[in-house]
Amino acid sequence: MSLEIKVPTVGESISEVTIAQWAKADGDYVEMDEVICELESDKATFEVTAEAAGVLHIKAQEGDTLEIGGLLCEIDESQAKEAPAPKKEAPKESKATGEVIEMNVPAVGESINEVTISAWQKADGDTVELDEVIAEIESDKATFDLTAEAGGVLRIIAQEGDTLEIGAPLCKIEVAEGASSAANESAPAAASSAPTASSDSYAAGHASPAAAKILSERGLSPADVNGTGKDGRITKEDALKAEKAAPATKPAASPAPEKKPEIAPPVISSGATREQRREKMSSLRKTVSKRLVSVKNETAMLTTFNEVNMAPIMELRKKYKEQFKEKYEVGLGFMSFFTKACTMALQEWPAVNAMIDGDQIIYSDYCDVSIAVSAPKGLVVPVIRNAESLNFNQIEKEVVRLAMKARDNKLSIEEMQGGTFTITNGGVFGSMMSTPIINAPQSAILGMHNIVERPVAENGQVVIRPMMYVALSYDHRIIDGRESVSFLVRVKQLLEDPTRLLLGV
């Protein structure tokens, strides 16, 4: 009877693998659990073991790419040899030495902070050997095998499905008498304790996936490394040692070149520090993060730009700001000009003031303008209701009122809900240009930026003017290019000739 060996599932996002090499030839006799081939995915390398003893019949060749579940080989169990009874060679009753090795989550990548235990290959209380795969752990980028750091009895601490940070305890190994540990393996005796397995063993001189990766990165060959793992396998520690020892193995050239003076590393001043700290995200920051990512993923967002000559508004403010403040007890800022200009343009281009609800478009005949405010706990966006019906001093007073409540963390939910259009002013922080993200479920947002004196051409002459870049980010599902560009051009016209705002033309 022939047993089919198929490509196993090796990771949630891996759909195909490549046969890197066969450890056995077609027609060879294999023992159960003996490594027969090595598979590679775009994320990691995996070994396939025989699921039964018998004669191997290879169905896919080295270099072939197979999907998960594809046929690798068959094992003819009818030709299985009678297993000689040396296995009864008294199952080594592993006597505990009292030494306990705690295994923690290893560092598996520079930007990976946590991993999930996808499967334990051994059960709690099982006897394991040094370098034997005991678990499979997953990160958001790849899957990794966890090997035992010593021989002995496994005591599991974390369960399958648990998500742990780097360095968190995974399990303990009660070291058995006579069993070797990773610490012992790294002792000088490694030279004399070269693989005890016969030289024709597949494992002898074969690098584990982690070791192979290190060797390839350092330009070393497995033949240059003395494996100290089970049956002579090259472990990760062997590869790391070889990397350090490699320069010493290079024979010095007979005419020793003149030594160049070594450059000493910089001396860090006593006040310098490399400490880090972690802080839990506030619920506001979490909500803002989810909403922004959702908008980027769920809308067809584009941004169009223009520039505004701010000289007319600045001259108007300079001329009337004292009288305005004396009469209305509030300063005359830029927000009232921009808000009025936007509300007039929104009424002319209603799609920019609309929003999508399922398969319907909601058009509003009013303009509830949201203004982005930087508060101590993060960005908040309170709403100026019916901004189209407010005059300059009413808008300025509402901006001040909402901004003060935001900075005191006293805004109510009602004051932040709704809104049909948003204005954000990154210019107060010095931003020259940006692409603001839409404030869902709205369909557009206007970004203001800093005012910089730049040379511009007017009537064939180069003159210096205070210029501001303005950006309109919009959802292309509901707003076409004609509406978005025309809206921004209309805002530019109103700002560069503020008398239009008063006359409504």
Q: Which domain holds residue 460?
A: 283-503
Residue whose C-alpha is closest to residue 20's, from 66, 86, 56, 78: 66
Give me the phi and psi of 213, to 5 degrees please. Answer: -65, -45
* Amino acid of residue 131: D
Residues 430 and 495 grouped into a single domain: yes
Residues 296 and 148 grouped into a single domain: no
Percent residues over pLDDT 90 in the chain: 32
Q: What is the pLDDT of residues 132-175, one digit of tens each?
A: 889 888 876 567 788 888 888 898 998 888 888 888 898 998 88
Residues 439 and 334 grouped into a single domain: yes
3-state secondary structure at position 215? helix
Task: Please report the DSSP string for 367-414 in residue order.
Answer: --EEE-EEETTEEE--EETTGGG--HHHHHHHHHHHHHHHHTT---HH
Q: Is residue 228 a part of any domain in this protein?
A: yes
Q: Please state the three-class secondary structure of 171-201 as a single string.
A: EEEEEECCCCEHHHHCCHHHCCCCCCCCCCC
Position 191 scores a pLDDT of 42
Q: What is the pLDDT of residues 263-297, one digit of tens each?
A: 888 887 777 777 888 888 776 677 778 888 888 88
Binned at pLDDT 50, 70 and 90, residue 11 comes out as low
Q: Is residue 315's pLDDT more than 90?
A: yes
Residues 443 and 297 grouped into a single domain: yes
Last residue of a domain, one of 17, 48, 80: 80
Residues 377 and 310 grouped into a single domain: yes
Position 13 scores a pLDDT of 64
Bond before 441 cis per omega within 30 degrees: yes
Q: Is residue 265 a part of any domain in this protein?
A: no
Q: Is residue 267 a part of any domain in this protein?
A: no
Based on the structure, what is the number of domains in the chain? Answer: 3
Residues 374 and 483 grouped into a single domain: yes
- Report the CATH number that the domain containing residue 15 is assigned in CATH: 2.40.50.100
Q: What is the pLDDT of residues 173-225, one digit of tens each?
A: 888 776 655 555 554 444 444 444 444 455 566 666 667 767 777 777 777 77
Position 227 scores a pLDDT of 75
Catalytic residues: 476, 480
Region 306-318 average pLDDT: 94
Q: Is residue 259 a part of any domain in this protein?
A: no
Q: Is residue 322 a part of any domain in this protein?
A: yes
Q: Is residue 316 a part of any domain in this protein?
A: yes
Region 360-382 average pLDDT: 89
Residues 132 and 227 grouped into a single domain: yes
Contact predicate 212/243, CB 8 Å: no
Give me the phi and psi of 176, to 5 degrees please. Answer: -85, 155
Residues 159 and 194 grouped into a single domain: yes
**For the ranges 17-31, 234-248, 484-498, the one whose mean pLDDT is highest:** 484-498
Q: Is residue 338 a part of any domain in this protein?
A: yes
Position 311 scores a pLDDT of 95
DSSP one-letter code for 224: G
Q: For the whole model, what pTM was predicted?
A: 0.49
Q: Is residue 261 a part of any domain in this protein?
A: no
Give the integer Cα–Cα distance in Å for 190 and 103: 22
